[in-house]
Structure 1
Amino acid sequence: MLQLSPETIAPLRTAAIALALVVSAPVSAQPAGPQTPPLDLRLDWTQFVSSAVAGSGDFAPRYGGRADVYADIDGEGIGLWNGLTIKAQGEFVYGRSVNRVGSRVLLPVNTALNFPSNDSEDFDLSVNIVQRIGRVRIQAGKINMLDQSTAIPIVGGGGKEGFQHIGIASPPALIASPKILGALVSVPVGKVVLTGGVWAPDDWTKQFGPGRFFSDGVDGMAVVLIPAKIGGKQGFHNFSVFVTSRQRRSADDFPDITLPPILDNVPVPKRGGAYFKYGVQQYLWQDPADRKRGFGLFGHVGVSQGTPEILSWSMTAGAAGSVPFASRPSDTVGLGYFRLALNNKFIRTVEPLLPLKDEQGVEFYYTAQLIPAIRLTGNIQVVDSAFANAPTALYAGIRAKTSF
Structure 2
Amino acid sequence: MKWIIVAAVALTGMLEASAVAQPIEEPKTYAGDFGSRPRLTGDWGEIRDELATRGIRFDVDFLLTPQGVAHEGRDTGAEFWGNAEYTLNVDTGKAGLWPGGFLRVVANSGFGESVLGTSGAISLVNTTALFPKPNEPNTGLMHATFMQFLSPQFGLIAGKMFVLDGSHGEFSGNYRTQFQNGGLVFPLAAALVPISAYGGGIVALPWEGVVLSASAIDPSGTPTNHDVGEAFRDGAMMLSSAHVAVKPLGLVGHQGVSGMWSNKERASLTQDPSNIARVLVSEQFPRLADPGPALRRIIERFFPGLLVPMEPVKKKSDTWAIFYHFDQYLWQPKDDPKRGIGVFFTFGATDGNPNPLKHTYNMGIGGNGVVHGRPNDTFGLGWARTDFSSKFVSFLREQLPLGLNHEDVIEMYYNASVTPWLNASLDLQIIEPGLKKMVDSSGSLENVNTTVVAGLRLWVRF
TM band (smaller chain): 0.7 to 0.9
Note the 1:126-141 alignment, pairs <5 A: 126-133=143-150, 134-141=152-159
TM-score normalized with structure 1 length: 0.86
Letter in 2 for 1:373: W
| 1:174 partner letter | A
Q: 1:80 to 1:230 in 2, by over 3 A?
A: same
Q: TM-score, normalised by structure 2?
A: 0.76
Name the counterpart of 2:114: 97
CA RMSD of aligned residues (A): 2.6
CA shift at 1:222, angstroms?
1.5
Matched, 1:237 2:268: no
Check the 8 A contact 1:65/1:94 in 2, yes or no: yes
**Post-superposition shift, 1:38?**
3.1
The answer to whether the 8 A contact 1:154-1:320 is kept is yes
> 1:80 Cα deviation (Å)?
3.7
For residue 84 of structure 1, report the CA deviation from its aligned partner. 0.9
Deviations 1:75-107 (A, max 9, x none): 2455642111111111111111111113x2212
Find the counterpart in structure 2 of residue 216 from structure 1. Answer: 234
SS at match of 2:266: coil
Q: State whether structure 2 residue 371 is matched by structure 1 residue 371.
A: no
Q: How far, CA to CA, are the matches of 1:268 and 1:141 in structure 2?
A: 33
More strand by share: 1
Compare the two structures and name the one with the higher helix fraction.
2
Select which of 436, 457, 460 maps to 1:388. 436
Counterpart contact for 1:182–1:197, Cα < 8 Å:
yes
Aligned to 1:260: 292
Q: 1:325 to 1:91 in 2, by over 3 A?
A: same
The within-5 A match list for 1:5-404 is 28=47, 36-78=53-95, 80-102=97-119, 104-125=120-141, 126-133=143-150, 134-150=152-168, 152-157=169-174, 159-172=175-188, 173-191=190-208, 192-249=210-267, 250-251=279-280, 252-257=283-288, 258-261=290-293, 269-305=315-351, 307-351=353-397, 352=399, 355=402, 356-389=404-437, 390-404=448-462
Cα separation, partners in 2 of 1:206 and 1:291, compared to 1, 3 Å: same
**Secondary structure of 1:147 counterpart:** helix
Q: Distance in 2 between matches of 1:231 and 1:272?
A: 43
Q: Report SS of the residue matched to 1:217.
A: coil
Which whole-Å CA distance do the structure 2 matches of 1:226 and 1:268 have between them? 41
| Cα offset, 1:70, TM superposition | 0.8
Q: Is the 8 A contact 1:240 1:278 kept in 2?
A: yes
Amino acid at match of 2:362: T
Which amino acid in structure 2 is aligned with residue 139 of structure 1?
A: I
CA distance in 1, matches of 2:450, 2:350: 26
User: Structure 2: which amino acid aligns with 1:177?
Assistant: P
Kept in 2, the 8 Å contact 1:97–1:118? The answer is no
- Contact kept, 8 Å, 1:357 with 1:388, in 2: the verdict is no
Are the equivalent residues in 1 in contact too, given 2:43–2:49 (CA < 8 A)? Answer: no
Question: Could you tell which deviates more after superposition, 264-273 or 370-379?
Answer: 264-273
Native 8 Å contact 1:272 1:306 kept in 2: no
Cα distance in 1 for residues equivalent to 2:425 and 2:98: 41
| Distance across 2 between alignment mates of 1:124 and 1:24 | 27
* Structure 1 residue matching 2:63: 3-state secondary structure: strand
- Please tell me whether the aligned partners of residues 96 and 118 of structure 1 are also in contact (alpha carbons under 8 angstroms): no
The offset of 1:63, in angstroms, is: 1.6
Distance 1:349 1:374, change over 3 A: same
Unaligned stretches of 5+ residues in structure 1: 1-21
Mapped partners of 1:319, 1:348: distance in 2: 36
How far has the Cα of 1:391 moved from its partner? 1.5
- In 2, the alpha carbon distance for the partners of 1:121 and 1:78 equals 36
How has the CA–CA distance of structure 1 residues 232 and 289 changed in structure 2, closer, same or farther, with 3 Å as cutoff? closer
CA distance 1:303–1:268, change in 2 (3 Å): farther
Structure-1 separation of matches of 2:145 and 2:178: 26
CA distance in 1, matches of 2:135, 2:218: 27
Give, in whole Å, the separation in 1 of the partners of 2:196 and 2:66: 26
Out of 288-297 and 214-223, give the one that drifted further.
Answer: 288-297
Stretch of structure 1 that moved more, 113-122 or 136-145: 113-122
C-alpha separation between the residues in 2 aligned to 1:262 and 1:401? 32
Larger mean Cα displacement after TM superposition, 309-318 or 134-143: 134-143
CA separation of 1:349 and 1:285: change in aligned 2, threshold 3 A: same
CA contact (8 A) 2:192 2:287 kept: no
- Distance (whole Å) between structure 2 residues aligned to residue 388 and residue 357 of structure 1: 10
1:336 CA displacement:
0.6
- CA 1:222–1:53 in 2, change beyond 3 Å: closer, same or farther? same
- SS state at 1:216 partner: coil
